[in-house]
């Protein structure tokens, strides 16, 4: 992400890291210690946020990965064989498909009635069928209610009536 900031800066964009607030439509004031007052016709705000820990009981107590930490997964001494992806966004589907093609047993849990919720249902169903043909298990309308770490390399995941064990959990950046 920081290399993108440098690219913006070399293109003439003022990049300011930190927080602040708007005092009117054309004035933005950064927080202390710099407390700069910026005036412009338009502002672009980029928010670097961690995925919220929704209401999944136990999620804050386990070592899950996010898409941004995916390289950590490939650097583990012992690669997990069974992986749960919580989320059904485009990036989640891409990551799941890539990991499946690398030999992982991947399951996607999507809250919505179909993956890629903002897209057309027909398109999403065609993609879902393709992912399932490739070996990915997909549960839709499946809200994860709880997770627990059973051992150092094993997690249990609850989604309604469904309970499964996984060696790693990947939390969507869209959650």
- Cα 71 to Cα 66: distance, rounded to the nearest angstrom: 10
Q: What tens digit of pLDDT does each residue of 111-124 get? A: 888 999 878 889 99
pTM assigned to the model: 0.67
Tell me what percent of the residues of the chain surpass a pLDDT of 90: 29
- Cα 100 to Cα 116: distance, rounded to the nearest angstrom: 18
C-beta neighbour count of 94 within 10 angstroms: 11
Residue tagged 């057309």 (tokens): 120
Pure H helices in the chain: 2-10, 70-74, 90-101, 121-133
In order, the DSSP letters of 119-162 are: S-HHHHHHHHHHHHHTT-EEE-S----EEEEEETTEEEEEETTE
Which residues, other chains included, contact 38 with Cβ-Cβ below 8 Å and sequence gap of 6+? 14, 16, 27, 28, 29, 30
pLDDT, residue 172, reads 77
Which residues, other chains included, contact 151 with Cβ-Cβ below 8 Å and sequence gap of 6+? none
| Mean per-residue pLDDT over the chain, rounded | 83
Q: What is the mean pLDDT of residues 93-97?
A: 92
Q: Which residues pair with 30 in a beta bridge?
A: 20
Does residue 14 carry a pLDDT above 70? yes
Does residue 5 carry a pLDDT above 70? no
Does residue 1 carry a pLDDT above 50? no
How distant, in Å, are the alpha carbons of 69, 114, 135 from that of 157? 20, 20, 20
Which residue has better confidence, 109 or 77?
109
Q: What tens digit of pLDDT does each residue of 30-75 get? A: 887 778 888 888 877 765 544 455 678 898 888 888 877 777 777 7
Q: Which residues pair with 157 in a beta bridge?
A: 147, 164
Between the CA atoms of 130, 96, 120 and 52, what dihedral angle is there, to the nearest 10 degrees? 160
How distant, in Å, are the alpha carbons of 15, 23, 48 from that of 29? 14, 7, 18
Per the structure block, which two tokens stand in for 116? 């890629």
Does residue 149 carry a pLDDT above 60? yes
Does residue 175 carry a pLDDT above 60? no
Which residue has better confidence, 15 or 126?
126
């Amino acid at each position: 992400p920081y290399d993108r900031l440098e690219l913006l800066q070399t293109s003439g964009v003022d990049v300011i890291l930190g927080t602040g607030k708007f005092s009117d439509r054309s004035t933005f004031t950064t927080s202390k210690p710099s407390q700069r007052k910026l005036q412009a016709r338009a502002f672009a705000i980029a928010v670097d946020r961690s995925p919220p820990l929704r209401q999944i009981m136990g999620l804050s107590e386990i070592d899950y990965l996010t898409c941004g930490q995916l390289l950590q997964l490939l650097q583990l001494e012992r690669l997990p064989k069974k992986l749960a992806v919580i989320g059904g966004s485009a990036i989640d589907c891409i990551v799941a498909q890539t990991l499946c093609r690398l030999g992982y047993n991947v399951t996607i849990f999507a809250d919505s009635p179909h993956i890629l919720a903002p897209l057309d249902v027909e398109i999403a169903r065609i993609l879902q069928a393709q992912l399932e043909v490739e070996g990915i298990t997909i549960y839709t309308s499946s809200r994860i209610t709880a997770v627990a770490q059973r051992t150092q390399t094993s997690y249990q995941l609850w989604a309604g009536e469904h309970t499964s064990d996984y060696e790693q959990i990947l939390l969507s950046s869209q959650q």
